[in-house]
A and B are shown apart, each in its own frame.
Chain A
């Protein structure tokens, strides 16, 4: 890094552009799903900038649209997004010298992809020259893409014929995120137990099976650490 110029937002935007191409279909699918779901349409659309976390937005629309309880939807969204605590803990090491207002704005647009791309460019918390500018290039690129593609999907929504089976894209999104998230044997066990318990409890009211699966999976992962780590 010593010979390289201080990175700017343009470098961030360039580094994140391949990620943006992969994110666009996800945004479209969220918009289309929200437009077709039996929920308050405006609230579903507004979640793109109020929550700004795709998997949890999709989960809220899924749970609320299929007769799930509000508490299940909220719990599921919070559980899905709890991984941001990890990113926050790691990002904190890089941002401790920055003004608190700037840190708050950085936190609002903190996503899996923004964290991963920025972490790759800045592997050392002691060398953060140009980090805020670079980070805003990455994260605002992602934010803008998400707003445009979810809105476009939302407007297209009703025009898409049901024979296209676009609803299948929803589990595909979760499956892709699942594939990325499994990084160890306890992680595999967390997924297997979480999926199996959710399947076994899927007939519970208010989609409570989702919570049972999530809790059982986390416990399975934690308890299996002693054998596999």
Chain B
């Protein structure tokens, strides 16, 4: 039940943010500080999600775990192709290769 509540509230909040300035155009301007802060939300929260998952997959910092080199390869694939799919399609086989070699 908790999961349903989270999903529905996230849905309502997400739609509200998508609709907010489309609906209010001409009536309300985007506050300048919000506009500046929003630029850093994506890098900050995505790094907060990514870094522990890759550098501490078992809840302890371990820079020699196989996720680290595989993530570097997957990250470079994303960088060059601008595609999420490429990060998966290149990163995952890189991980298999590293696991197989070690």
Contacts and interface: CB of A to CB of B under 8 A. Distances in A.
A182 interface: yes
Given A173-B84, A214-B41, A92 B25 contact: yes
Interface string A1-35: 00000000000000000000111111001000000
A214 to B, nearest CB: 4
A199 B48 CA distance: 7
A103 B23 contact: yes
Given A166-B92, A179-B75, A191 B85 contact: no
B30 A107 contact: no
16 contacts: A22-B81, A50-B8, A77-B10, A79-B41, A88-B20, A88-B22, A172-B74, A181-B42, A187-B39, A195-B51, A213-B51, A214-B45, A215-B44, A218-B40, A221-B44, A222-B36
Interface residues of B, number: 71
A133 to B, nearest CB: 17
Contacts of B78: 172, 175-176, 179-180
A78 B53 CA distance: 20
Given A25-B84, A175-B74, 5 more contacts: A64-B6, A89-B30, A93-B25, A104-B19, A213-B47
Nearest to A49: B11
Contacts of B74: 172, 175-176
A53 B39 CA distance: 18
B27 to A, nearest CB: 10
B22 A91 contact: yes
Interface of B: 1-11, 13-15, 17-26, 30, 34-56, 59, 61, 67, 70-71, 74-75, 78-79, 81-89, 91-92, 95-96, 99
Contact of B37 (A81, A88, A191, A218): A218
A202 to B, nearest CB: 5
Interface in A69-87: 70, 73-74, 76-87
B40 A190 contact: yes
B40 A85 contact: no
B50 A195 contact: yes
B14 A181 contact: no
Interface in A178-193: 178-182, 184, 186-188, 190-193
A131 interface: no
Contact of B10 (A51, A110, A181): A51
Interface string A208-222: 011011111110111
Contact of A216 (B18, B25, B44, B99): B44
A188 B17 contact: no
A138 interface: no
A168 B84 contact: no
